Amino acid sequence: MAKDLLTPKLVSELNRFCPGCGHGLIGKIIAQVLEERGVEDRAIQVYAVGCSCLISTVVQADSIQAQHGRAPAVASGVRRARPDAVVYTYQGDGDAAAIGLSESLYAAYRNENYTAIFVNNGVFGMTGGQMAPTTLEGQKTATSIYGRDTSVTGQPFKLAELVAQMPVAYVERCSLTDAKHIAQTKRAIGKAFDNQLAGKGYSFIEILSPCPTNWKMEPVDAYKRLQDIVAGEYKLGVLKDSEEE
């Protein structure tokens, strides 16, 4: 669809992400989804700490920067303070699955009526590519130089599966691997916002996204790894849909 190729008004021309990074693309999708529903002027995005914090320079919605990991709790306060706002969180995997796991799960547990965008690139990006809970077995990072030893660190962390155990509206895992998957990511994010607008409660969209810089790969190879390896561990699809239960 030609209109999808236009840059949303909500997106700034400035993009501070590394070449090949998925964050800018996700930001564009969020902006498209908000504009298509005509809710960009009442959107409040809550982001936290890490590369994801640069989202507010891409998506020019009203923005609150939470403490590391606490965006779900900050958004819970915003939800109650502004019943008419369209509220969403934007977090990376270190932020939401490591330091902020408690806040992530309790927001889902309360079925907060907001939309959670969770970007899984398998590393702590901004601090230089350290191991995250989501890092794959054997994956080399700055704090697992011989490859992640799951006998010591535990297995790759499946936050979406955990959230799907909660009484929430919707959970889906998507990927940015190619045009088809990007289109599906947009459909999922759209559904998550539609759920919020209909008052259905908490929707959680995990997006597998490449980090060429910290994976130490060319962008094209990083997208190939995303498809061939990462999506093998983190299965794509709908994990929970309260409408179908």
Partner 1 sequence: MRRMMKGNDAVSEAAIRAGCRFFSGYPITPQSEIVEYMSWRMDEVGGSFVQSESELSGISMVYGAAACGLRVMGSSSGPGFDLLQEGIGYIVSAELPALIVDVVRYGNGLGEIVPGQSDYWMVVKNGAHGDYHCPVYAPASIQEAVDLVSVAYDKAEQYRNPVIMMYDGAIGQMMEPVVLPEMKEHDPDKFEWSMKGRGGEPQKQITSACYYRHRDPQVYVDNLRTKYRTIEENEQRWESYMADDADLIFVAYGIMSRSCREAITEARKQGLKVGMIRPITLYPYPVKAFETLPENLKGFVSVEMSALGQMVEDVRLAVNGRKPVYNYATGKMIPDTEEFISYMKNVLEGKEESV
| Binding residues for partner 1 (CB under 8 A) | 40-44, 46, 53, 56, 60-67, 70, 73-82, 84-86, 102-103, 106
Nearer to partner 1, 52 or 144 (CB): 52
CB of 156 to partner 1, least distance (A): 25
Nearer to partner 1, 86 or 205 (CB): 86
CB of 98 to partner 1, least distance (A): 14
HSE-CB for 35 with a 13 A CA cutoff: 17
Cα–Cα distance list, 51 to 44, 91, 151 (Å): 19, 9, 29
CB of 41 to partner 1, least distance (A): 5
Nearer to partner 1, 60 or 139 (CB): 60
CB of 166 to partner 1, least distance (A): 13
Nearer to partner 1, 13 or 245 (CB): 13
The pair phi, psi for residue 206, each rounded to 5°, is -90, 135
Q: Is 36 exposed, middle or buried (0-12, 13-18, 19+ CB in 10 A)?
A: middle
User: CA–CA separation, 121 vs 152, rounded Å?
Assistant: 21
Nearer to partner 1, 56 or 141 (CB): 56
CB of 29 to partner 1, least distance (A): 18
Torsion of CA 78, 121, 39, 200, to 10 degrees: -70
